[in-house]
Chains A and B, each alone.
Chain A
Amino acid sequence: MSKGLLGGILGVFLAAVVVLWGVIWVNDWEPNLGLDLQGGVSLTLEPAPGQGEIDLEILDQTVEVIRSRVDGLGVAEPDIARQGETVLVQLPGVADQEQAEDIVQATAILQFRPVYREIPPADPDYEEVGPSCAELEEQRLEGPPPADEDVVLCQPPGEEALADDPEEDAPTDSWSKFELGPVAVDGGSVEDAGAALDQAGLGWATVLDFDSEGDEVFQEFTAELACNTGDTRRLAIVLDGLVESAPPVAQDVPCGQGIAGGGQISVADQEEAEDLALILRAGALPIQLDLEQSLAVSPTLGTDSLIAGLQAGAIGLALVALYLVVLYRGIGALAVAELLMFGILVLGAITVLGQAIGFTLTLAGVAGIIVSIGIAADSSIIYRERYRDEIRRGRTIRTAAEHAFSSAFRTNLTGNTVSFLAAVVLYILAVGPVRGFAFTLGLATLIDTLLFATFTRSLFGFVANSPKLAKAPWMGLRGGTFAAQPVPGRAK
């Protein structure tokens, strides 16, 4: 390969690295740190045994219920995710482990209350009536609203009451307030709920079944409501202190008679009917979840771990650099440049992936990076050993560098394939901290091969192609500088 081409590769590569870090710098991105590095609470939940086959869709709904509760905690970036049948709740910065445990485990409380009045944000009384919705959100964490008192509760606007994406929720000051009476029927009376076409067959409805006692109470309750008009004809369905829905009793229900044999709530479409049914069934969460792991890391401990990881990485890098320079001199120093470039690329990739796919760097991930220093150094070593072999076989510096590259690259590729394979298998199959480790290890392996084919090759080749540099004894390229006497019997 000609000197110009090598220089070209080197230039393009360096430009790419500058662009990578330029983007990071301009956007002021930082790597996502895991809980164990910044402190917080991590909870792992699993469906309790004995519930038969777990319907993943219902499990997803459960995750949404947990998410909406956690949102009330005011955590900056809660991460609630389902992995297989496992639900992971990561709450960075949260110090109160017991509160977090209570919130995800709490049984959802369902209440039916009579509506006195709905007060939309535009209403002049909005500010005066009850506490603000933001304050009410905080109160929700402390438990359900008192059952035998009149209360003021809020409803998030529109369909967002059952939002899939909580981040699109409207701000609390745009929520409607409701003045509500004491609880008439509670969730314990609900036996079942489902979605069905309504009686007219025109739209969708959520059908409710009560136990016998609940049936009676519900009939009395609706009999009273049916005598009213306007807001007071409505009944509010309250879940965990939020008004989920407040439908009026249908016009054809006569005053004093009420609804017998369960209720029916007309809604817009099938999806809404199913969502509401889910909430109504949720005397508990749709699926009973057990807390399987609860882990708290204090912020100081997290920071200490991060610093320790960085220190270990720096010391490791320095020791490896020293070793390489002692063993290989100038081309050992080139290897140090390769290692530094490796570090720069791995850090850059982790930062960008943190933004792009939400990758989070954990302590196990840091360990993976430190381990990968060895992999990166090995690539440099293989190249230099191959180079020395080629020189011993009597090649010139330039052709030796070329030949050494192709054979060393083949070895690198074979070895890294195995490492990458290991990382992928681990990432897919393992649970817990192992995944974070596998991710960084796999990433580092890819970067190592990429670096070898571009930066390492062009840097080494560039030096080998430069007569001045190649001849310098400190560079360690010439045969005489590393004890490579021609072996007797082999022609130079």
Chain B
Amino acid sequence: MTSSATKTAPQAKNTPLRRFLNGESDITFIGRGRTWAIISLALIVISLASLGVRGLNFAIDFTGGTSFVISDATDEFTSGDLRDAMGEFGVTDVTAQVVDEGDGALVSTPELGEVGGELDRAATQALAEVTGADINDIDRQAVGPRWGAQVTEQALLALAVFLGLVVVYITLRFEWRMALSALVTLVHDIVVTIGVYALVGFEVSPASVIALLTILGYSLYDTVVVFDRVTEETKFLGAAENRTYGELANGALNGVLVRSLSTSVTSLLPVGALLLIGAQLLGADTLQDLALALFIGMAVGTYSSIFVATPILVALKEREPRVAEHKERLLTQRGGGT
């Protein structure tokens, strides 16, 4: 894509792609803050609405229950057969899925009595009979409700502590306005990612929680890189500067655009590979859940670090008297048309 610049063509054409790769693109991110705000608000409203209407589909790790991974099945069976077999144990909310071209199956049920108790074992036996698989080829995962509650609680605690530390760190490293913008951006990412889960009905497993936290890490990393550049560009904001804070921030965003997009691509490629491989693998839910959430979240994170974080920062910053005055003066000068 850069091969046009050779010795024989010293003055290459000034194409948009070229300007983009040069960090000289001039896309208006800040000026259209209102547009992005409307888009983001719409996303948030849709997310909250689907969360309210459909709720989240929590895996047994959070709610308690038993799941089975059956491999090397020898008999013919349908997912209905599996559900019927589980119905014998008085549980209704059973999910059953035949995989691996009929050689395997995934079944999960709400709690079956005590973990590792008689019901758990009888259910394993019943599945072995339906599928013709050896009982040792049925991997049973049983989770008690108390453990599930604890996993959820700890995850939420970790999230809260993480957000708190982030605010402290960014305030110390940069300033509180950036910390606030970053926080709003993170909350935005969380809400939208959860919204996608609610809307599509993906199962929320511990792996999705891991993914969510990673996404926050990435989004934050992205945001910090942008803020780092904004800080650098606006270092000398004063009488001599003939651009406003918003314009400088916009310049900074354009400057790091290639990096932002490249980083998103290089982050998404391995995750995409994970998604692809995980999809073909029986029982590797961890990989697939993780990859899926990452894929969604990184897309959201890339969007938000450009379209949410910096516009909020500029809005906050332009309330600062010094910056507001500077902008006022510049606008008057330009309006005066010297």
Q: Which residues of A does B touch, CB under 8 Å?
A: 36, 43-44, 46, 49, 95-98, 101, 105, 290-298, 300-301, 304-305, 308-309, 311-313, 315-317, 319-320, 323-324, 326-327, 329, 363-364, 366-367, 370-371, 373-375, 377-378, 381-382, 385, 388-389, 392, 407, 410-411, 414-419, 421-423, 425-426, 429-434, 437, 441, 473, 476, 480-485, 487
Stretch of B37-45, B153-161, B238-246, B312-320 on the interface side: B153-161
Pick from A105, A292, A294, A411: contact of B140, CB under 8 Å:
A294
B102 within 8 A of A: no
Pick from B24, B116, B278: contact of A98, CB under 8 Å:
B116
List of B residues within 8 angstroms of A382 by Cβ: 225, 259
A327-B22 Cα distance, complex, nearest whole Å = 12
Range for the number of chain B residues in contact with chain A: 35 or more
A293 touches B142 (CB 8 A): yes
B71 touches A301 (CB 8 A): yes
B23 within 8 A of A: yes
Q: A385-B262, A418-B169, A476-B2 are in contact. List 20 more A-B contacts (CB 8 A).
A: A293-B142, A298-B71, A305-B287, A308-B287, A316-B271, A316-B272, A316-B274, A319-B272, A367-B291, A371-B270, A378-B221, A381-B263, A414-B224, A416-B221, A417-B169, A418-B220, A434-B158, A437-B210, A441-B214, A483-B18
Pick from B147, B276, B282: contact of A304, CB under 8 Å:
B282
A426 touches B162 (CB 8 A): yes
Query: Chain B's nearest CB lies how many Å from the CB of A36?
Result: 7
Query: Chain A's nearest CB lies how many Å from the CB of B118?
Result: 11
B281 touches A421 (CB 8 A): no
23 contacts between A and B (CB under 8 A): A46-B144, A292-B144, A292-B146, A294-B142, A309-B277, A309-B287, A313-B270, A313-B273, A327-B1, A367-B274, A370-B270, A378-B267, A389-B255, A411-B228, A414-B225, A415-B225, A416-B221, A418-B221, A418-B224, A429-B154, A434-B209, A441-B214, A484-B22
A296 touches B140 (CB 8 A): yes
B5 touches A483 (CB 8 A): yes
Pick from A291, A388, A419: contact of B221, CB under 8 Å:
A419
B4 within 8 A of A: yes
A375-B276 Cα distance, complex, nearest whole Å = 20
B24 touches A487 (CB 8 A): yes
Query: Chain A's nearest CB lies how many Å from the CB of B162?
Result: 5
B207 touches A367 (CB 8 A): yes
B139 touches A481 (CB 8 A): no
> Considering the complex, which residues of chain B in the window 136-179 have a beta carbon less than 8 Å from any beta carbon of chain A?
136-137, 139-144, 146-147, 150-151, 154-155, 157-158, 161-162, 165-166, 169, 173
List of B residues within 8 angstroms of A426 by Cβ: 158, 162, 213
Question: A308-B278, A319-B269, A415-B221 are known contacts. Are A294 and B69 too (CB-CB below 8 A)?
Answer: no
Question: A434-B210, A482-B5 are known contacts. Are A296 and B141 too (CB-CB below 8 A)?
Answer: yes
A357-B327 Cα distance, complex, nearest whole Å = 57
Pick from B158, B169, B287: contact of A363, CB under 8 Å:
B287
A410 touches B262 (CB 8 A): no
Query: Chain A's nearest CB lies how many Å from the CB of B57?
Result: 19
List of B residues within 8 angstroms of A417 by Cβ: 169, 173
Q: Which residues of B does A touch, CB under 8 Å?
A: 1-2, 4-7, 10-12, 18, 21-24, 61, 69, 71, 114-116, 120-121, 136-137, 139-144, 146-147, 150-151, 154-155, 157-158, 161-162, 165-166, 169, 173, 206-207, 209-210, 213-214, 216-218, 220-221, 224-225, 228, 232, 255-256, 258-259, 262-263, 265-274, 276-278, 280-284, 286-287, 290-291, 294
Pick from A294, A315, A392, A421: contact of B162, CB under 8 Å:
A421
Query: Chain A's nearest CB lies how many Å from the CB of B316?
Result: 20
Query: Chain B's nearest CB lies how many Å from the CB of A332?
Result: 11
B290 touches A483 (CB 8 A): no
Question: A295-B141, A309-B287, A389-B23 are known contacts. Are A482 and B2 too (CB-CB below 8 A)?
Answer: yes
B259 and chain A: residue at smallest CB distance: A385
Query: Chain B's nearest CB lies how many Å from the CB of A88?
Result: 11
A385 touches B140 (CB 8 A): no
B136 touches A298 (CB 8 A): yes
Query: Chain B's nearest CB lies how many Å from the CB of A467?
Result: 18
A205-B302 Cα distance, complex, nearest whole Å = 69
B216 touches A422 (CB 8 A): yes
A410-B287 Cα distance, complex, nearest whole Å = 33
